[in-house]
Amino acid sequence: MKILVTGARGQLGNELKRLFDTMRAEIGSIDNVYVNAEVDYVDYDDLDISDAVAVRTWLDQHGPYQLIINCAAITNVDGCERDEAGAYRVNAMGAENLARAAESSAAKFVHVSTDYVFPGVDPISRTEDDAVRPISAYGRTKWAGEVLVRSSCSRAFIVRTAWLYGYVGKNFVKTMMRLAREAGKISVVADQYGNPTSANDLAYEILKIAATEEYGTYHATNKGTCSWFDFACAIVDGVGISCEKESLTSAEYKQRFPQSADRPAFSSLENKHLANTVGDEMRPWQDALADYLKNLPELEG
C-alpha cells in the first residue's frame, strides 16, 4: 500500500508516522494491511495543498496512492480570525484539491476536521448528525472544507476531533507545564467544555477507519467532557507541579485578550458513528493523558 500524509510535521502527522514505524499505538496494534506500507510524508514546504496544480503534479510524480490522509490545516484559532481568507485557502481549498486528487486516482481520502464546526451553545454532546453552525473563522473554514470534500470525493472519511495534543510540537499540555514551572501560576478558562484528545489514540482510530469502506463523517475524541481549567489542573497535578491555579470566565478572558476569537462554550463530541461501525476504542481522556505524561520525557520532539 502506498500512502500520502500531508501536514506530516504536525502533532497528528508525527503520531501517524510513529504508528506506521512501530505498527502499534498505545491502544494496541494497527491493522496488518499497513505492514510494509510505503508512506510519503509531506508538509507545507514540500507541497502547498492550496495550489491545485502542485497537488496534481505531486500525485503524477509520486503516486498512485491508495490512501491520502490530510492532517494539513491552519489551526491557530485567533490567527484564522485575523486572516480568514488565508485560512480558507488551506482549510477549504486545500482539502478540496486533495479530495479531487484522491477521487481521480481512486484513492481513499481521510480529512481531519474539528469540534469548532458546532456553536457550542447547548450543554449537549454532539453527534455526527447534528446541525453545524461555526462561530469562528477557524470553524467556518473547516466546515467549508468538509462540504468541499464531500462533494469532491466518493471515498472520503471526515474525522472530527478536539483539543488535540501529541508528543511532538506545541500544545496545551506542554504550555500549561511550562507556565506552571516558569510563572508558578496558570490562568485558564473554566466555562468552555470539550474532549481532550491524544493524537496517538486519534491516529489509531484513523487507521482503523481507513482500512474499511465505511465512508462518512466520524467523531473521534477521547471519552469524557471537562473544562479547559479541569484539563489544566489534571496536567500540572499529573506531573506534580505545585502552582497557583486561577479559573477565568470566557468574559474575563475576552477582557484580557480582546482580539481573541469566540470559542464554543460546550463542544463535546460523541463518537456515535465510530461506535456503530468499526468500534470506539478511544480511551477516557484521563487515561490517555496519564500515559502521555508518563511517556513524554522519552518521546517529546
Domain with 61, as residue range(s), is 2-299
253 included as an active-site residue? no
Q: Which residue has the cell 478540496?
A: 96
Say which of 41, 88, 138, 253 is annotated catalytic.
138
- The CA distance from 301 to 297, in Å, is 9
* Backbone dihedral angles phi then psi of residue 300, each to the nearest 5 degrees: -60, 135
Contact at 8 Å (CB) between 251 and 192?
no
Q: Distance from first CA to last CA of the chain, Å, rounded?
A: 28
Residue 211 has pLDDT above 90, yes or no: yes
Domain total in the chain: 1
DSSP 3-state of 184: coil
Tell me whether strands 38-42 and 2-6 are parallel, antiparallel or unpaired. Answer: parallel
The domain that holds 147 is classified in CATH as 3.40.50.720
DSSP 3-state of 110: strand
Mean pLDDT of 182-188: 95
- The CA distance from 142 to 159, in Å, is 11
Q: Give me the pLDDT at residue 193, please.
A: 97
- The CA distance from 77 to 155, in Å, is 29
The confidence band for 301, taking pLDDT boundaries of 50, 70 and 90, is: low
Q: Is 8 exposed, middle or buried (0-12, 13-18, 19+ CB in 10 A)?
A: buried
pLDDT in tens, 108-163: 999 999 999 999 999 999 999 999 999 999 999 999 999 999 999 999 999 999 99
Cell of 42: 509531506
CA dist 132 to 104, 116, 128, 204, 275, Å?
Answer: 29, 9, 9, 26, 21
**pTM as predicted:** 0.96
* Backbone dihedral angles phi then psi of residue 253, each to the nearest 5 degrees: -65, -40
